């Protein structure tokens, strides 16, 4: 089968290749890929940013989001059958959606939202799971709380805004002037135009901040939190809890050192810091499918690329040009 694989950890490390079809384990479903979407995580994995934690053996197929059709099931699979239309974010160390086929553990899979196209379905698993897990599982957001979402027009931010509103939060977001109406339409109550205004000067008393921009934004985000508030970062630095999440407790001291500065700053301000790395979860995806089907949530797409243009699609995301999700389509299923 055709696939795009990481054969070396660097910017030019993603290459087209021909691979055998994946083996199908007892608890796996084999999926013919209809569409896959690109996430910043793909760049991070390609560049080796997690190579000490996620020990992929090169060459390996890249890609963390998929929508497609089940073509084979393992002997122990009971919840899915051949012909089912599914969507998924495969678990770490079993990624590879930039390919014609992928084998996925059935517990990572859900029936795709019935009202969404292949492209829309492929755009949402990772960002929807990330938004849900960060706000519900980690922050435990309650109605009436105040949530700041950075980069609200992006693939993740646009989903976090919608989930936060679903949970009853008051939502502020940062966005470019041209995206103000877009993020308000998604549900943002307050929009900070970062070209004209410093969010740290405009906002105060927030319960939760979700940051996807980096160190400078994260440091400033701590200052808009109320005492006891929580800053969640999806770009690091990793904290000791992440070592536990990975099942590698011996890494706790290393991650404690990596995040020492930001945790110390947070403590001095009377707030908290958490690094967040989402996990595959088919049950949560099934719940989220219902929210997409009833109109509570909606996907935000920028544009699509053909499967053969996967490298160009990743470059487009790297350039920071995307305003929503970038999706790769496979002509066989679209």
Do 34 and 65 meet the contact criterion of CB atoms below 8 Å apart? no
- Asked whether residue 258 is domain-assigned, the answer is yes
Do 292 and 298 meet the contact criterion of CB atoms below 8 Å apart? yes
The Cα–Cα gap between 195 and 246 comes to 38
The pLDDT tens digits for 146-162 are 999 999 999 999 999 99
- Could you give the percent of the chain with pLDDT greater than 70? 99
**Residue 83: burial class (beta carbons within 10 Å; 0-12, 13-18, 19+):** exposed
The Cα–Cα gap between 30 and 124 comes to 20
Looking at residues 45-56, what average pLDDT do you find? 89
Q: For the chain, how many structural domains are there in total?
A: 2
Please count the other Cβ atoms lying within 10 Å of the Cβ belonging to residue 219. Answer: 16
φ and ψ at 319, to 5 degrees?
-75, -5
The pLDDT tens digits for 63-120 are 999 999 999 999 999 999 999 999 999 999 999 999 999 999 999 999 999 999 999 9
- Say what the pLDDT of residue 331 is: 54
Alpha helices (H) along 269-309: 282-293
Q: Please indicate, yes or no, whether residues 117 and 131 belong to a single structural domain of this protein.
A: no
The pLDDT tens digits for 235-251 are 889 999 888 888 888 88
Please count the other Cβ atoms lying within 10 Å of the Cβ belonging to residue 113. Answer: 25
- Say what the pLDDT of residue 333 is: 44
Which residue do the tokens 């004209």 mark?
196
- Say what the pLDDT of residue 216 is: 93
Q: Please indicate, yes or no, whether residues 60 and 92 belong to a single structural domain of this protein.
A: yes
The Cα–Cα gap between 162 and 298 comes to 8
Q: Please indicate, yes or no, whether residues 131 and 266 belong to a single structural domain of this protein.
A: yes
- Say what the pLDDT of residue 109 is: 98
Q: Please indicate, yes or no, whether residues 166 and 111 belong to a single structural domain of this protein.
A: no
- pTM higher than 0.75 for the full model? yes
- Say what the pLDDT of residue 325 is: 94
**Residue 93: burial class (beta carbons within 10 Å; 0-12, 13-18, 19+):** exposed
Q: Please indicate, yes or no, whether residues 106 and 131 belong to a single structural domain of this protein.
A: no
- Say what the pLDDT of residue 332 is: 47
pLDDT band at 334 (very low <50, low <70, confident <90, very high): very low
Q: Please indicate, yes or no, whether residues 184 and 45 belong to a single structural domain of this protein.
A: no
- What 3-state DSSP class applies to 115? coil
* DSSP code, position 137: I
Q: Please indicate, yes or no, whether residues 113 and 7 belong to a single structural domain of this protein.
A: yes
- Answer yes or no: is pLDDT of 289 > 70: yes
Please count the other Cβ atoms lying within 10 Å of the Cβ belonging to residue 139. Answer: 25
The pLDDT tens digits for 252-271 are 999 999 999 999 999 999 99
User: How many angstroms from the chain centroid is the CA of residue 89?
Assistant: 9
- What 3-state DSSP class applies to 119? helix
Do 187 and 209 meet the contact criterion of CB atoms below 8 Å apart? no
Q: Please indicate, yes or no, whether residues 133 and 224 belong to a single structural domain of this protein.
A: yes
Joined tokens for residue 235:
């770009």
The pLDDT tens digits for 186-207 are 999 999 999 999 999 999 999 9
Which residues are CB-contacts of 322 (< 8 A; sequence separation ≥ 6)?
154, 155, 302, 303, 316
Do 230 and 139 meet the contact criterion of CB atoms below 8 Å apart? yes
CATH of the domain at 61: 3.90.180.10
Q: Please indicate, yes or no, whether residues 154 and 15 belong to a single structural domain of this protein.
A: no
Looking at residues 42-66, what average pLDDT do you find? 93
> Could you list the residue range(s) of the whole structural domain that residue 92 is in?
2-124+299-329
- Answer yes or no: is pLDDT of 46 > 60: yes
Q: Please indicate, yes or no, whether residues 210 and 81 belong to a single structural domain of this protein.
A: no
Q: Pairing state of beta strands 206-211 and 146-149? A: parallel
The Cα–Cα gap between 167 and 297 comes to 12
Q: Please indicate, yes or no, whether residues 144 and 68 belong to a single structural domain of this protein.
A: no
Please count the other Cβ atoms lying within 10 Å of the Cβ belonging to residue 325. Answer: 28
Q: Please indicate, yes or no, whether residues 107 and 227 belong to a single structural domain of this protein.
A: no
């Amino acid at each position: 089968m055709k696939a795009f694989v990481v054969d070396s950890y660097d910017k030019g490390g993603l290459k087209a290749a021909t691979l055998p079809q994946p083996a199908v384990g007892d608890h796996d479903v084999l999926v013919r890929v209809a569409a896959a979407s690109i996430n910043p995580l793909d760049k991070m994995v390609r560049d080796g940013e997690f190579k000490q934690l996620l020990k992929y053996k090169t060459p390996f197929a890249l890609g963390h989001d998929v929508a497609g059709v089940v073509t084979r099931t393992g002997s122990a699979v009971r919840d899915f059958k051949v012909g089912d239309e599914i969507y998924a974010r495969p678990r770490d160390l079993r990624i590879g959606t930039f390919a014609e086929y992928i084998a996925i553990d059935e517990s990572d899979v859900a029936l795709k939202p019935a009202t969404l196209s292949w492209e829309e379905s492929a755009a949402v698993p990772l960002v929807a799971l990330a938004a849900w897990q960060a706000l519900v599982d980690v922050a435990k957001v309650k109605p009436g709380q105040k949530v700041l979402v950075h980069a609200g027009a992006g693939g993740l931010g646009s989903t976090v805004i919608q989930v936060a509103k679903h949970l009853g939060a008051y939502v502020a977001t940062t966005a470019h002037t041209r995206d103000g109406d877009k993020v308000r339409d998604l549900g943002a109550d307050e929009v900070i135009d970062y070209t004209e205004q410093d969010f740290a000067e405009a906002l105060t008393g927030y319960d939760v901040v979700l940051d996807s921009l980096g160190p400078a934004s994260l440091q400033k985000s701590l200052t808009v939190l109320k005492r006891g508030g929580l800053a969640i970062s999806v770009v690091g630095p990793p904290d000791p809890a992440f070592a536990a999440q990975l099942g590698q407790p011996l890494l706790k001291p290393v991650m404690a050192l990596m995040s020492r500065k930001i945790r110390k700053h947070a403590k001095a301000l009377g707030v908290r810091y958490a690094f967040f790395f989402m996990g595959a979860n088919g049950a949560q995806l099934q719940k989220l499918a219902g929210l997409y089907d009833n109109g509570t949530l909606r996907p935000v797409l920028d544009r699509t690329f053909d499967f053969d243009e996967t490298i160009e699609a990743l470059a487009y995301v790297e350039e920071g040009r995307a305003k929503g999700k970038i999706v790769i389509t496979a002509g066989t299923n679209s």
